[in-house]
Structure 1
Amino acid sequence: MSLYQRIKEDLLRGRFAPGQVLKQTELAELYDVSRIPVRDAVQQLKSEGWLTGHGKRGVAVPRFDPLEVEDLYLMRMRLEPLLQTLAAPQLNAETLGRARDILDRMDADPTLPAAEIGALNWAFHACLYKAAARPTLFATVEQLHRQCERYIGYQSRSLDYQRTSQREHYAILDALQRGDSETAASLLEQHVAAAGQQLAEFLRARCD
């Protein structure tokens, strides 16, 4: 696992508190590496929103923002059912089978780290969305998923959301396999909306 992945996984697991300031020298000591790989990993994490700059050489863990969550999930709720509906006529047995294999992998190991859960979650949706052959829309949705990714640790750890999410994933996939794209889109919209509402309410309660 690369240093970038190790720090990212620790951020997802809550090892570093929101608002905590981290110095590159401290990170180098913590992960027992030189400052050069720390600098490169920090730069990548900053570019993806996992860390923000703080002073000359330090970084800080961004605070969780319920309003940001609401905005991100509202955009996802509108765009993802559209993209999935555009993809539906092109979905074949092979693609649907790959999507089911991804869900089965997530079910097979209940100890999966949060980062891998996030990667597999996106892999499932992306497997379906790519069939739409709409690269601009796909790229927009992918970016929204990346922005939501740092909240996954809360969903899987504090909210025990993974089992609910999986049930909803299978229901969406079953509808697509029946050729019922309208029901699949409705289920996806509910899936995204419920996840966003639950997470925003949880974070807002923590801020009060």
Structure 2
Amino acid sequence: MKQAKLESTRHRVQRYRTTPDLIADELREEIRRGVLAGGQPLPQEELANRFGVSRIPVREALLRLEGEGLVAVYPNRGAVVTRFTADEVREIYHLRRLLEGDALARAVRRMTDADLKRIELTMDRAERGAIDSDRGDPDWAELDGAFHAALYEPAGHPRQSAMIAALRGTVDRYWTAYEALPAHTEAWLDDHRRIVAACRARDAEMARLVLHEHLARAGAIVLAGLKAEEAPDGAA
């Protein structure tokens, strides 16, 4: 089974856009799913053997992930999956509130009925994904991300949206690792509904306020999980 999976991965390398694209996508997904944990080494030689390539595309893929904040590359030490401190998580969520609150307020003022229908469809998909999921898995996180992206798209600021997506990508993995969704599902979905209701009412400030509350709750959950992860066994 392991050999078959390896051959499948190598076949995908051969037909992908570019080899570094595939390697970066595979590693990004494994980080997001918690398969590769914070602090885990990423030896270039092992990755090159795994993907059936030289170390050059592996190095390029790791540098891309470093640019996204998912990997740290150290001279003479190699690469490791990024592990955030509590202060770094607080900073990420502070930036998310600033950027996403601004994007949403701008978007609300420009939303058409077609935009609202599209947003409601993505909200419904995210809701079904959350309810059907036994835990906050990456599939749900992806649907939730699509909902937020749909909210901000009418703002017409693609660079800002890209920055938001990058910040979100750095912390999505903690939802998977901590299996955080079940205890918070109803509050989470209620936030989504309140945001959409404010959008329908064209109330930009209310939409921003609810979003800030939503992101503050998300940050607190991630920080709680991070604290439990760092605690000695049995101390959490």
Using structure 1 for the length normalisation, give the TM-score. Answer: 0.81
Corresponding residue of 1:128: 151
Alignment CA distance shift 1:32-1:141 (3 Å) = closer
What secondary structure, in the 3-state scheme, does the structure 2 residue paired with 1:52 have? strand
Partner of 2:59: 39
70-79 vs 104-113, which moves further:
104-113
| Alignment correspondent of 2:209 | 186
Change (3 A) 1:33 1:166: farther
- Determine if contact 2:175/2:222 at 8 Å carries over to the other structure: yes
Q: Which moved more, 1:35-44 or 1:91-100?
A: 35-44
CA distance in 1, matches of 2:101, 2:167: 18
Change (3 A) 1:17 1:103: same
The answer as to whether partners of 2:104 and 2:208 remain within 8 angstroms in 1 is yes
Change (3 A) 1:100 1:156: farther
Matched, 1:73 2:93: yes
Alignment of 1:1-208 (within 5 A): 2-29=22-49, 31-35=50-54, 36-56=56-76, 58-109=78-129, 110=132, 114=138, 117-133=140-156, 135=157, 139-140=159-160, 142-161=162-181, 163=185, 164-208=187-231
> Do the aligned residues in 1 keep the contact of 2:194 with 2:210 (CA within 8 Å)?
yes
Distance in 2 (CA, whole Å) between partners of 1:201 and 1:113 is 18
Alpha carbons 1:91, 1:128 under 8 Å: kept: no
Q: Which has the higher contact order (CA 8 A, sep 6+)?
A: 1
Q: Which amino acid aligns with 2:204?
A: S
Q: Percent identity?
A: 28
Size of the aligned set, in residue pairs, is 203
CA distance in 1 between counterparts of 2:37 and 2:177 reads 15
Structure 2 unmatched ranges of 5 or more: 1-11, 13-21, 232-236
The whole-number CA distance in structure 2 between the counterparts of 1:108 and 1:33 is 39
Q: If the length of structure 2 is used for normalisation, what is the TM-score?
A: 0.73
Structure 1 runs (4+) deviating above 6 angstroms are: none
Q: 1:28 to 1:57 in 2, by over 3 A?
A: farther
Superposed CA deviations along residues 120-149 of structure 1, whole A, max 9, x for unmatched, are: 43432232323234x3xx634642441331
Whole-angstrom distance in 2 between the partners of 1:101 and 1:33: 41
Kept after mapping to 2: 8 A contact 1:48/1:146: yes
In 2, the alpha carbon distance for the partners of 1:23 and 1:13 equals: 19
- Does the CA contact (< 8 Å) of 1:76 and 1:141 recur in 2? no
1:20 shift after superposition: 2.0
Structure whose alpha-carbon radius of gyration is higher: 2
Cα distance in 2 between the residues matched to 1:92 and 1:84: 14
Cα distance 1:54–1:75, how it changes in 2: closer, same or farther (>3 A)? closer
Of residues 4-13 and 57-66 in structure 1, the stretch that sits farther from structure 2 once superposed is: 57-66
Query: Secondary structure, in 3 states, of the residue corresponding to 1:90?
Result: coil
